[in-house]
């Protein structure tokens, strides 16, 4: 059984009390409480992440540009020529045909929808990576500690009982 002993540096500061609080803690114990486990460095890192998180929440996704550029290049270099070839094989003229323009417009719209969806997922993934550690509990519970009077009370009660019944 550990007995809390008032330390000189705890008697003048601490849980709102000075010397009398330290004395009270020594005799009657200390209540359980929660304490932050964040180091000053972790707190600084969290403060630095707030602007990045705000950007992501506003839709400013960093690092998606190369993915978007690759998709657009693939569309220009593969999708458009493939559509033109298919349209030509059906007997149409890709150059001035409204049917080809409609098909190309639909493919472009699908590309934009797909990119928007991928960008949103990419942003959510980045947000989850940033928020994951922040959402974990940063509190530790310090259990209640017995005071010296509480620790001695069971023994004193037994002695009083024996005395009262003539057991001494």
The predicted structure's pLDDT at residue 124: 84
Instruction: Estimate the crossing angle of helix 98-135 against helix 65-74, to 10 degrees.
Output: 160
Report the candidate in 72, 2, 57, 54 with the shortest Cα–Cα distance to residue 30.
2
3-state secondary structure of 33: strand
Contact 14, 21 (CB under 8 A): yes
Domain boundaries along the sequence of the chain: 61-140
d(CA 102, CA 151): 86
Task: Determine the straight-line distance between the first and last CA of the chain, rounded to whole angstroms.
Answer: 27
Mean pLDDT, rounded, for 136-158: 71
Residues 87-124: tens digit of each pLDDT: 787 776 666 667 788 888 899 999 999 998 998 888 88
pLDDT band for position 135 (cuts 50, 70, 90): low
Residues 7-53: tens digit of each pLDDT: 444 333 444 568 888 877 777 778 888 887 777 877 777 787 778 77
Residues 47-94: tens digit of each pLDDT: 877 787 788 777 778 888 899 999 999 999 999 898 888 878 777 666
DSSP alpha helices (H): ranges in the chain? 8-11, 18-28, 40-57, 65-74, 80-89, 98-135, 148-164
């Amino acid at each position: 059984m550990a007995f809390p002993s008032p330390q000189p540096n705890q008697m003048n500061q601490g849980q709102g009390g000075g010397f009398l609080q330290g004395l009270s803690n020594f005799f009657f114990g200390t209540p359980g409480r929660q304490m932050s486990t964040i180091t000053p460095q972790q707190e600084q890192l969290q403060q630095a992440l707030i602007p990045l998180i705000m950007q992501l929440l506003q839709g400013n996704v960093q690092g998606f540009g190369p993915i978007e550029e690759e998709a657009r290049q693939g569309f220009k270099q593969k999708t458009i020529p493939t559509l033109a070839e298919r349209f030509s094989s059906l007997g149409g003229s890709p150059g001035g045909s409204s049917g080809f323009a409609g098909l190309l417009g639909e493919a472009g719209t699908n590309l934009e929808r797909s990119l928007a969806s991928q960008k949103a997922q990419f942003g959510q993934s980045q947000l989850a990576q940033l928020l994951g550690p922040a959402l974990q509990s940063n509190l530790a519970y310090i259990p209640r500690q017995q005071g010296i009077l509480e620790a001695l009370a069971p023994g004193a009660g037994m002695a009083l009982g024996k005395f009262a019944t003539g057991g001494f």
